[in-house]
Homo-oligomer: A and B are copies of this chain.
């Protein structure tokens, strides 16, 4: 079509103004989006825009949402291959559109082949600067923060990328309400100390200082997932940690056994159903250590441990750990905030918080952070 002829293609790395969201290695040729909520954002003055994506996977395919002027307009699965996707067309060529292409799905630690890259753009317009927002926020969490369950019927049970969303998510909603740029570090099933099934390797702190260290495989290695994250380049005003739900679940789950080494791990319950104090203490130490790691890398951030969208059994431990950390270090810029619980009315698919639960969490968290953020 002649339409195509007037469009100009350029590699992403050559675009005058690109704003990348989410941790990366800095590479733009191509840009790899690892984490949920990671995105590429443009201000474009033109009638039409395409992006060239590359997707791959063995099991879990990537999904993206496209937001135009901050409103979600499309959301789609990216099947394997390298191809062009139209972001918009037929629009007034003089108006400046803000567009954001967002990775809807978490980093997939269990699928080394999972990949989402952006190679190039094609359009008839000019790329203009995208201003930074007044605040920066980092969210750290598990399936809740990955938006698992925000899409799909309540009856859905399959663990598939389709039911995840970065957009219908308390992270995006809170950042929008506070006018903040944001990043997300999250992994379904993981905790501070162990995963929901007692696997001690599946904890967020272990990989926090790498770009996306929980990803495996040669390709990810080559893409730099294990390189140290450049914290100095992006210092958040607030770090929200929404972890503990899977650490709590571990107490209710069977022991984990490493088939290779015979190693086992189990957070234990007493016979009366209460938590084993030693194992609780291990969790609390993990929380304390993680707070130290967070502070080391995020010097100016207020750290909020925000917990409660699927119950609050670990809340006393979280408070004890935070109190202990603050007493030992004198660090006063840490607090705990209870998020509203998910109800029969607000639940989504896979018995996870639904969009309504994320909206209520975002409202409560926004109100709380509003009083903490510098003005």
Contact = CB atoms under 8 A, between A and B. Distances in A.
A69 interface: yes
A199 B1 CA distance: 31
A274 B68 contact: no
Given A77-B86, A153-B69, A315 B341 contact: no
A226 interface: no
Interface residues of A, number: 56
Q: Which one of A59, A89, A274 has the highest number of Cβ atoms from chain B below 10 Å of its Cβ?
A: A89
Contacts of A29: none
Contacts of A61: 86, 89-90
A1 B79 CA distance: 12
A234 interface: no
A71 interface: yes
B68 A162 contact: yes
Number of copies: 4
B336 A68 contact: no
Interface in A199-250: none
B367 A343 contact: yes
Given A77-B74, A340-B364, A158 B92 contact: yes
A162 to B, nearest CB: 5
Interface string A53-92: 0000001110100001111011111011000101011111
A319 B323 contact: yes
A198 B368 CA distance: 27
A52 to B, nearest CB: 13
B332 A157 contact: no
Contacts of A151: 71, 73
A367 B311 CA distance: 10
A86 B79 contact: yes
A95 B77 CA distance: 21
A320 interface: yes
A292 interface: no
A113 B25 CA distance: 44
A336 to B, nearest CB: 7
Given A59-B90, A76-B76, A316-B336, A69 B323 contact: no
A156 interface: yes
A153 B70 contact: yes
A337 interface: yes
Across the A-B interface, give the 9 residue pairs with the lowest CB-CB distance, nearest first: A319-B319, A338-B338, A69-B153, A76-B76, A90-B160, A71-B153, A91-B158, A74-B76, A79-B86
Given A59-B90, A77-B86, A340-B364, 12 more contacts: A1-B80, A71-B152, A75-B75, A77-B89, A79-B84, A88-B160, A90-B158, A92-B158, A316-B319, A316-B322, A319-B336, A320-B323
14 contacts: A68-B156, A69-B155, A74-B75, A74-B76, A74-B162, A76-B76, A95-B157, A272-B332, A312-B337, A316-B326, A320-B323, A337-B338, A340-B340, A341-B364
